[in-house]
Structure formats: structure tokens, C-alpha cells
């Protein structure tokens, strides 16, 4: 079968244009409503539970999970499914430990919560370092992915693709703030869930709507091994370490945490995580069908010949079962997916730079509304430009590990301090600060010494640190540092203020 993938055609460009026009129209509408920092960072706190659930799903489900996991399942069968499961299990943790306290204690960033009863300046500086590290690595991975994917999907040069994504995303965030970002994420989530469902239905129609018949066919063609655990998980410690980072990292991603400030209260925040978990879980269940569907209907060789990583499995499958019009639609959905994620990331990075660092560190909390908005917009332009530059700088390099790195930092730098500040009365400023700094630093150092960097990228024969993902070491380390430092020098005043925090955590602003 010959594919029209990568050749610009009228239908693909039409879908693409429809999405760009629609999302820019949303931005123009949102720009008129964005007048204050509450609008810019938190969409005026008027987002409903269902809307925020969809936006959370839109913020979280990246092109890596849509195209990457479908491709991984298509090429390696069961082993790819291990990822489908891993990407979901952080959401219940967000629900049980984070969402409601965050909504009641903070305003714009997760650092608001950690700093609530501690000293503002040291806590916010440490939290900003962790946040900005997560946002930067995640952004680089997304921008490089965007450049590669868009040049494969539409036949555009890599650099133009990166500049288009950066430019359109800048327009959303700069003019429309959180209102535009939220609606772009909602539109993307609906398109992605709808597109993936339609694709799965078209696949299942060929197997009398019985998924097991599809899996059986895959086992007949490619051997029973595709339904069984293979070589992906060989080292149990590595598997647990990655699992821990995925699970707790989800609960420490700044752009996800920021979304809980867009709803009116803790009750709505709770319901929105319920919706998000349902949508995201449903989507990862669909990847079972999409992956095996591509394996059987398109064939492994055809998928790997276009892209050895398998990223083109889902688009090829769309073309195979729905022809060029459906391919165009799925390609536009992949583009929308990237835009929604980078917009969320950039907005949360801008909030860290302006709200945490500028307003609360440099200006001691005293900056008027106009100044805050201006600084937020300057920070947005800065981050968007930086992401375009980094995207082009990292062209052709293997950046797959950067998403894992972002999750590991989120799990080690942000999650322990956040959870302890909510639940442990004796956490002190020094404890939180040390934990966030040690969490960030140890993760970056151990990744640099891991087989991923030492063997895969630098081509050394061995690595100093055995685990590919350092979470198993760095997450407990961050907890131990926070608890140890806090117990070593207790601060009674900060412990007393915990009662106030605990009251507000349950009751909200009274």
C-alpha cells in the first residue's frame, strides 16, 4: 500500500486550516475577557468540572502518548501496553492527595501551597528551580517531537514546523491566557478522544466488533509473543523506578497542578479529576486497539519503514481504514495535541517566572495588577522564543529521555515538598527548600550518569549509575532530606501556622 503521508494534500491542509482558524477565533474571544491576573493565570476561576476534566486530559495526553504508544504497541505488542497503564496511574494520586488542598491553599502556582505557612522567598526560589526544570525539559521534548512529526505528517521543513508551533502557541497564551489555553485544550481533547474512538471503531468493524478477534489475528500473523511480556522490562528495579516517577511525577507537573486554580472550589476540582481520569483511562484502553490494529492492518514493516520509532502507526492506520480524508483529520488532531500541551507548559512557566519570582521574590509581594500582567506577558514571549530556539538547537537529537527526566524531576523536586507541606505540620522552610533543591539536582546528576546518557547518547561502554530512571533513589531521598532537615531545626512558629493552613485546606477561603 502506498501512503500519501508527508505529501501536502488539499484535505490535510483544509483540516489543518480549520483547526488554526477555530483556535485563533477562540483566542480573539478570550483576549477580550482577559483583563486581570485571575483571568490570565486561572481563567477567572469559572471553569466547570467537565470542562476542566477535558482540559486536564487535553493538557496531559501529548502526541507522545497518542502516536508514540500506538506505535510502541504496533511494533512490540504487549510491552507497549505497560506504558499505557503507567501513564494513567498518577491520576488517582492527584485526586487523593493533591487536587482539593491545592485549590484551597493556592492562587496560581503550586509554590503558593508550599510557601503558604513558610517563608516566601527561599521556598519560592527553590520551587521555581524545580518547576522551570520540568517545564524546560518537557518543552524541549515537545518542540523536537513537533518538528519531527509535522515534517513527517505535512512534509514541512523541521525548522518551519517548530516556528509555526511556537508562534501559534505564543498567540494563544499571550493574548488569551488561561481562557484561550483551556478552550484549546478542551477542543483538542474532544478531537483526540473522538478521532481515536472513530479510528478504533473502524478497526473493530473489520473484526465483527470483537477486540479479542483482532488480538488473535495479531498472534496468528506475528506469533504468540506479541500478547506476552517481552524484553522491554528486564530489570525489575528499573521498571519500578520508572513506574514510581510516572505515578508521582503526574502529581508534581506544574502545568497540570495549575489547572486546579481555574475551577471555583475544591468540590469542582475533585469532580474534574474524576472526569479527567475517566477520559484518560478510556484513551489508553483505546491504544490497545489502535496499536494491534496498526500491527495487523498496516503491518510492522510498513510502519517501521516510515519511522523506526513507530510514530506513524496511528496516521497510517487512519489512512488504511478511512482513506486520505481521515488521515488528514488524524494529522490535524496530532497537531492540535502538540499545540495544547505546549500552550499549557508555557503558561505554567510564565506563572512561575512572573508570579513566583518577579512578584513574590523581587517585589516582595507588592506589585499592582498592571505590572503583574505585563511581566506575565513578557515572560510568555521569553519562554516561547526560548522554546523555538531550543527546539531548533536540539534538531536530530534523541530527546525521548527528556519526558522521563521531566517526570522524574516533578516526582522528586515538586511532589515530596508539596505533599509534606499539606500533610506534615513539622515541615520547615529549610526542609522544604533543601528537599526541592536536592530533588532537582540529584535527578539531573543521576540521569547524566545513567545508561540513557552514558551508553545510548555518549556511546560509552558502561554507566556509573545503573538505573535509566532515577526515581527510585531521588524520590525517597527528597522525602528523607525534607524530614531530616525539618526535624534537625524545628521552627515552632511555622508549626503553629499549620493549624491555620489545615483549617483553610478543608474549608477553603472563609
Partner 1 sequence: MSHEPLDVLAAARWRVAIALTVAMMVVYFGFILLVAFNKPLLGTRVAAGLSLGMLLGALVIITAWVLTWIYVRWANTHYDTAIAGMRK
Identify the DSSP state of 489: S
The smaller minimum CB distance to partner 1, of residues 19 and 207, is found at: 207
Nearest by Cα to 418 from 80, 116, 28: 116
Binders in 230-249 for partner 1, by CB under 8 A: 233-236, 239-240, 243, 247
Residue showing cell 519511522: 307
The smaller minimum CB distance to partner 1, of residues 27 and 287, is found at: 287
Least separation, in Å, of the C-beta of 307 and partner 1? 25
Site string for partner 1, 487-506 (x = CB under 8 A): ---------------xx-xx
Binders in 395-434 for partner 1, by CB under 8 A: 423
Among residues 60, 66, 91, 407, which is the contact residue for partner 1, using CB under 8 A?
A: 91
Please return the burial class of 276, using the count of CB atoms within 10 Å of its CB with bins 0-12, 13-18 and 19+: buried
For partner 1, which stretch binds (CB under 8 A), given 8-16, 129-137, 166-174, 283-291?
Answer: 283-291
Q: Assess 509 for contact with partner 1 (CB under 8 A).
A: no
For partner 1, which stretch binds (CB under 8 A), given 8-16, 90-98, 141-149, 479-487?
Answer: 90-98
Q: Assess 74 for contact with partner 1 (CB under 8 A).
A: no
Among left, alpha and beta (phi > 0; psi -120 to 50; other), residue 357 is alpha
Least separation, in Å, of the C-beta of 476 and partner 1? 14
Q: Assess 50 for contact with partner 1 (CB under 8 A).
A: no
For partner 1, which stretch binds (CB under 8 A), given 268-276, 317-325, 355-363, 467-475?
Answer: 268-276
Residue showing cell 478497526: 203
* Residues 418/110, Cβ–Cβ less than 8 Å: yes
Among residues 8, 167, 229, 323, which is the contact residue for partner 1, using CB under 8 A?
A: 229
Least separation, in Å, of the C-beta of 228 and partner 1? 3
For partner 1, which stretch binds (CB under 8 A), given 50-58, 148-156, 225-233, 399-407?
Answer: 225-233
| d(C-alpha 358, C-alpha 364), whole Å | 8
Please write down the long-range contacts of 205-211, taking CB distance under 8 Å and 24 or more positions apart. Answer: 206/297, 206/321, 211/288, 211/289
Among residues 201, 278, 480, 487, which is the contact residue for partner 1, using CB under 8 A?
A: 278
Site string for partner 1, 92-131 (x = CB under 8 A): xx-xxx--x-------------------------------
C-alpha grid cell for residue 67?
Answer: 502516536
* 3-state secondary structure at position 463: coil
Buried b (16+ CB within 10 A) or exposed e, 151-183: bbbbebebeebbbbbbebbbbbbbbbbbbbbbb
The percent helix, strand, coil of the chain (3-state, each to 5) is 80, 0, 20
* Residues 248/86, Cβ–Cβ less than 8 Å: no
**Which residues lie near partner 1 (CB under 8 A)?**
78, 81-82, 84-86, 88-89, 91-93, 95-97, 100, 211-217, 219, 224, 227-229, 233-236, 239-240, 243, 247, 267, 270-271, 273-274, 277-278, 281, 284-285, 288, 423, 502-503, 505-507, 510
Amino acid at each position: 500500500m502506498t501512503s500519501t503521508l508527508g505529501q501536502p494534500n488539499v484535505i490535510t491542509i483544509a483540516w489543518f486550516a480549520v483547526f488554526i482558524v477555530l483556535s485563533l477565533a477562540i483566542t480573539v474571544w478570550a483576549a477580550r475577557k482577559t483583563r486581570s491576573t485571575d483571568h490570565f493565570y486561572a481563567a477567572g476561576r469559572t471553569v466547570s468540572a467537565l470542562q476542566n476534566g477535558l482540559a486536564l486530559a487535553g493538557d496531559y495526553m501529548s502526541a507522545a502518548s497518542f502516536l508514540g504508544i500506538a506505535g510502541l504497541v504496533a511494533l512490540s505488542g504487549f510491552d507497549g501496553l505497560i506504558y499505557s497503564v503507567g501513564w494513567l496511574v498518577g491520576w488517582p494520586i492527584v485526586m487523593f492527595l493533591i487536587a482539593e488542598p491545592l485549590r484551597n491553599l493556592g492562587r496560581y502556582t503550586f509554590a503558593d501551597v508550599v510557601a503558604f505557612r513558610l517563608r516566601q522567598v527561599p521556598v519560592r526560589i527553590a520551587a521555581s528551580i524545580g518547576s522551570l526544570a520540568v517545564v524546560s525539559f518537557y518543552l524541549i521534548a515537545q518542540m523536537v517531537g513537533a518538528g519531527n512529526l509535522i515534517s513527517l505528517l505535512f512534509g514541512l521543513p523541521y525548522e518551519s514546523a517548530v516556528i509555526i508551533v511556537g508562534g501559534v502557541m505564543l498567540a494563544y497564551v499571550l493574548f488569551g491566557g488561561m481562557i484561550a489555553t483551556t478552550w484549546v485544550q478542551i477542543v483538542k481533547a474532544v478531537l483526540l478522544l473522538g478521532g481515536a474512538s472513530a479510528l478504533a471503531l473502524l478497526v473493530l468493524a473489520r473484526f465483527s466488533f470483537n477486540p479479542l478477534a483482532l488480538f488473535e489475528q495479531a498472534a496468528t500473523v506475528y506469533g504468540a509473543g506479541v500478547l506476552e511480556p517481552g524484553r522491554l522490562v528486564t530489570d525489575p528495579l528499573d521498571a519500578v523506578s520508572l513506574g514510581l516517577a510516572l505515578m508521582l511525577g503526574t502529581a508534581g507537573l506544574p502545568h497540570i497542578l495549575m489547572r486546579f486554580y481555574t475551577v471555583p472550589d475544591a468540590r469542582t476540582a475533585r469532580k474534574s479529576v474524576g472526569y479527567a481520569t475517566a477520559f484518560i483511562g478510556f484513551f489508553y484502553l483505546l491504544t490497545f486497539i489502535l496499536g494491534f490494529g496498526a500491527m495487523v492492518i498496516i503491518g510492522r514493516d510498513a510502519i517501521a519503514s516510515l519511522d523506526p520509532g513507530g510514530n506513524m502507526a496511528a496516521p497510517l492506520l487512519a489512512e488504511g481504514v478511512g482513506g486520505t480524508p481521515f488521515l488528514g483529520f488524524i494529522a490535524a488532531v496530532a497537531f492540535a495535541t502538540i499545540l495544547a500541551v505546549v500552550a499549557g507548559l508555557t503558561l505554567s512557566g510564565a506563572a512561575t517566572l512572573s508570579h513566583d519570582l518577579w512578584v513574590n521574590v523581587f517585589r516582595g509581594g507588592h506589585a499592582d495588577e498592571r505590572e503583574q500582567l505585563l511581566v506575565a506577558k513578557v515572560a510568555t514571549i521569553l519562554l516561547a522564543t526560548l522554546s523555538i530556539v531550543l527546539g531548533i538547537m536540539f534538531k536530530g537529537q534523541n530527546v525521548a529521555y527528556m519526558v522521563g527526566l521531566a517526570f522524574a524531576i516533578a516526582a522528586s523536586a515538586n511532589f515530596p515538598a508539596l505533599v509534606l507541606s499539606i500533610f506534615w505540620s513539622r515541615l520547615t522552610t529549610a526542609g522544604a527548600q533543601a528537599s526541592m533543591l536536592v530533588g532537582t539536582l540529584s535527578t539531573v546528576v543521576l540521569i547524566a550518569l545513567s545508561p540513557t546518557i552514558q551508553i545510548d547518547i555518549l556511546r560509552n561502554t558502561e554507566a556509573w549509575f545503573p538505573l535509566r530512571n532515577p526515581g527510585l533513589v531521588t524520590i525517597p531521598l527528597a522525602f528523607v532530606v525534607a524530614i531530616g532537615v525539618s526535624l534537625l531545626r524545628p521552627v515552632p512558629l511555622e508549626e503553629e501556622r499549620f493549624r491555620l493552613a489545615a483549617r483553610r485546606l478543608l474549608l477553603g477561603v472563609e
